[in-house]
Amino acid sequence: MSSNTVGSRDRLRVTGTEYEIYRLDRLDGTDRFPYSLKVLLENLLRNEDGRLVTAEQIAALASWRPDAVPDADVAFTPARVLMQDFTGVPCVVDLVAMRDAITALGGDPARINPLIPTELVIDHSVIADVFGRPNAFRVNAELEFERNAERYQLLRWAQRAFDDFSVVPPDTGICHQVNLEYLSRVVFTRERPDGGRLAYPDTLVGTDSHTPMVNGLGVLGWGVGGIEAEAAMLGQPMSMLIPQVLGLKLTGELPEGTTATDLVLTVAELLRRTGVVGKFVEFYGPGVTNVPLANRATIGNMSPEYGATCAIFPIDDVTLSYLRLTGRPDEQIALVEAYAKEQGLWHEPDHEPGYSQTLELDLAGVEPSIAGPKRPHDRIPLRIAPHAVSAMLAGQSHAEAVRSGLDEASGESFPASDPIAVDHDSPGDRPQAPCGCGSHHDWPHQRVPVTFDGGDSSELDNGHVVIAAITSCTNTSNPSVMIGAALLAKKAVERGLTSKPWVKTSLAPGSRVVTSYYERAGLTPYLDKLGFNLVGYGCTTCIGNSGPLIEQVSAAVNENDLTVCSVLSGNRNFEGRIHPECRMNFLTSPPLVVAYALAGTMHVNLLSDPLGTGSDGKPVYLRDIWPSTAEVTEVVDSCLRADMFASDYADVFTGDERWRGLDVPDGERFDWQPDSTYVRQPPYFEGMEREPEPVADISGARVLAKLGDSVTTDHISPAGAIKADSPAGAYLTGHGIERKDFNSYGSRRGNHEVMIRGTFANIRLRNQLAPDTEGGWTRDFTRPDAPVATIYDASVNYAEAGIPLVILAGKEYGSGSSRDWAAKGTTLLGVRAVIAESYERIHRSNLIGMGVLPLQFLDGQSADSLGLSGEERFTITGIAALNTGGVPDTVQVQADGTQFDAAVRIDTAGEADYYRHGGIMQYVLRQLLG
């Protein structure tokens, strides 16, 4: 133990209890440290063991310079792990398989057990099958249990078999909201072996990329792949480079008529443009005080959408007020305040830490916005939304459409005082397209007649909204926007407006508290009247669990190849994610979700066009029914109480009768069922020895897929519906599963046979090796003339021929969800290396964790610039240098006649160890055996 660690130990007495702490001010220069690095430094001081966390790491972090290029790695030990069921089930499957493997190698299966608190929230499995009726929640919950009984039995078994492993049952809430409202401690405590109590910052990693939502509470946490989380659970510190930290200075206040969603879409656009992949982002300055805790959480939640590892707000009075509101004990709140002030973790508006880079954002300049149609950071000002959507339907890119819209609107005044109430132009003054629809661009009309149950007829057209969903962790944790949506619904109903008949409407809050304050405020009937009945407490539409469209709408879309839209209050809108029949998907605030349900189309300018005709025969505009900040605040203040949180979380780990009644086996090893199509023993440890084989160069590899920019983990491993004619669908059919019981890829993640077949199977994936196709197609070079085949079938043939595989990709490869199956599926298909122009952080780590080598084209190079078609044979040399203990900067790639160097993206010594062992699970297992 270093002198720094010993010298930093001290005592802190709070409300009569004495705690041991590791003081940060005993190290010179830390007063100017960013908040997040102070938390990281305390973590190193407290966990120094001379082996995994060393004095050299502490010295490297203590001497951090804002202008330093990340080159020193440290070992971070989170206080706890957070999971959700889509990622948690495969984690549990892996741990069970590790128990089997350690037993086979002569070890003790009890060694495979979480050593830090691990909390799993079941929130990804409920599907919005039934909507718009009073019993929607009950019916959807029943269907959820019918479909997922095998998965839930596994999780119930794990809750019994593993120590310090807690499960929040279905129909309770979304993991990030439960984490924010209940699980987070902000300052953690634990008993020392000598009987004393230790106090330290609450930190975590989560198997969902939106884990940074808790950053809004001052808790340092970020998303990781499931395999990294498993290692953390088993006591392995996480190897990471000391990051650069960007400071975003906030000034001013949000103008009337704007919401937290508008703010976060603005931040996402700004930071994605700036470039913050792999960086920490911190908010500071006088404007921080004006950002409510729920808004802070919204901003933290969308960290992965702009590429940051985390986006954190420091602790202040706003934090303490939220802890009181959510029913945290007075003793805990007092500890948070005392610890934060003692450790220099308390926010002072005038304090300017040293940052690697700084930006400034005036909150007064934020305006109402949406984002889409396929990337969260593609913001569109609401005032030009109909123009932009029409232009994109006519073939323009997002950037072109927004640019042309802003150019046309440049002569308009746009006062920031009340953006919603401003009538920017009247419909009669707007330039008319040749079709006369009022849009600024000539987009292709189709106007398909649709007759609904009851005989009512309408026309469905390109650009119409067919899904309007108030859902996801991002916004449903925020009382201001949720109350705003309900008040807007109330005013709309009172004016005689209804949702359009072709729109599937749904409400899926992140916790039961939302419906509690809706009930107390008397607002539920108005939401129900517009079809926004409760469908479940879970991610639903945001994760792709949208359920079917209205039957007649689905038929019209498919028969006429219509381009229809979804509008949701979520954080993700990647291609093929929300619904396979929705090609354009837009993110926006809950109030605007309601507004678009009333309008039924993206071609209406919500700031100037009527939403419909009221019961008095007069047009009703958004400005007529938009609730003011004062109205929202009055309802929030009068109806949101701490006792709601205490009541709704009183039985958070207990569940209902269905959960408690599950038949759960006993024993420390799980009893695999050979006929299960949900949970199967994975093949990761087959043939594993106590010592790893040396890593080897790659020879004679073929390209499985040549991909472009912004390929997301949803493209690589979709979470949504399984098509009947896909390899995964054929597998399930062959095992006697009817189409209605396919469920989703996300729910089948405990079965590697389904997931291998689903890898690169997104219906919107475009593999340049198989032009003019969309979906999981490639060319099979083991066959004469290299015919087009499914990626799975081709991989089977390559495996039989002993041919290794590589992936070629562009920029931002693997953005999006922290989906470990995007890496697991890649390795199980036989891929040995990926060569991309750049990577998103989590997926690069996941590839290494599964034994796949991430390589990067050198600056200025790409597959296209090097003339690579993907038809070449690839040989990669220099990999074997890893066997000597170091990591080469580059390896040499030969693709037939083309030769080039590629950078090795193994960034830390810990990652190198994982790769040498064939993956992180194998490394941890061998460490436990040792």
Q: Are residues 395 and 358 in the same domain?
A: no
For residue 184, give the CATH number of its domain.
3.30.499.10
CA distance linking residue 91 with residue 820, whole number of Å: 9
Q: Are residues 202 and 115 in the same domain?
A: yes
In whole angstroms, what separates CA 445 from the centre of its chain? 35
CA distance linking residue 687 with residue 665, whole number of Å: 28
Q: Is residue 412 a part of any domain in this protein?
A: no
Q: Are residues 360 and 449 in the same domain?
A: no
Q: Are residues 335 and 462 in the same domain?
A: no
Q: Are residues 596 and 705 in the same domain?
A: no
**Residue for token pair 């103008």:** 255
pLDDT at residue 422 in the model: 47
Q: Are residues 272 and 328 in the same domain?
A: yes
pLDDT at residue 556 in the model: 96
Spatial contact of 831 and 704, defined as CB atoms under 8 Å apart = yes
For residue 916, give the CATH number of its domain.
3.20.19.10
CA distance linking residue 569 with residue 472, whole number of Å: 7
Spatial contact of 821 and 684, defined as CB atoms under 8 Å apart = no
Q: Is residue 308 a part of any domain in this protein?
A: yes
pLDDT at residue 725 in the model: 94
Which residues, in sequence order, are bridge partners of residue 283?
Answer: 248
pLDDT tens track for 730-740: 999 999 999 98
Q: Are residues 385 and 323 in the same domain?
A: no
Q: Is residue 416 a part of any domain in this protein?
A: no
CA distance linking residue 715 with residue 568, whole number of Å: 20
Please state at what angle helix 590-599 crosses helix 479-494, rounded to 10 degrees: 30
Q: Are residues 132 and 197 in the same domain?
A: yes
**Residue for token pair 């593609």:** 378
Peptide bond just before 373 cis, omega within 30 deg: yes
Q: Is residue 29 a part of any domain in this protein?
A: no
Q: How many domains does the chain have?
A: 3
Q: Is residue 690 a part of any domain in this protein?
A: no
Q: Is residue 27 a part of any domain in this protein?
A: no
Q: What percent of the chain has pLDDT over 70?
A: 96
Q: What is the β-pairing status of strands 831-836 and 853-857?
A: parallel
Q: Are residues 183 and 105 in the same domain?
A: yes
Q: Is residue 802 a part of any domain in this protein?
A: yes
pLDDT at residue 1 in the model: 65
Closest CA relative to residue 569, chosen from 597, 583, 588, 592: 588
CA distance linking residue 247 with residue 37, whole number of Å: 12
For the entire predicted model, the pTM comes to 0.89
Look at residues 606, 623, 643 and tell me which one is the last residue of a structural domain: 643
**Residue for token pair 């891929």:** 831
Q: Are residues 457 and 489 in the same domain?
A: yes
What's the domain range around 162?
80-365
Q: Dihedral through CA 564, CA 125, CA 303, CA 487, nearest 10?
A: 60
CA distance linking residue 90 with residue 754, whole number of Å: 13
Q: Are residues 321 and 395 in the same domain?
A: no
Look at residues 339, 365, 391 and tell me which one is the last residue of a structural domain: 365
Q: Are residues 707 and 587 in the same domain?
A: no
Q: Is residue 786 a part of any domain in this protein?
A: yes
Residue ranges in the chain whose pLDDT is less than 50: 413-417, 422-440
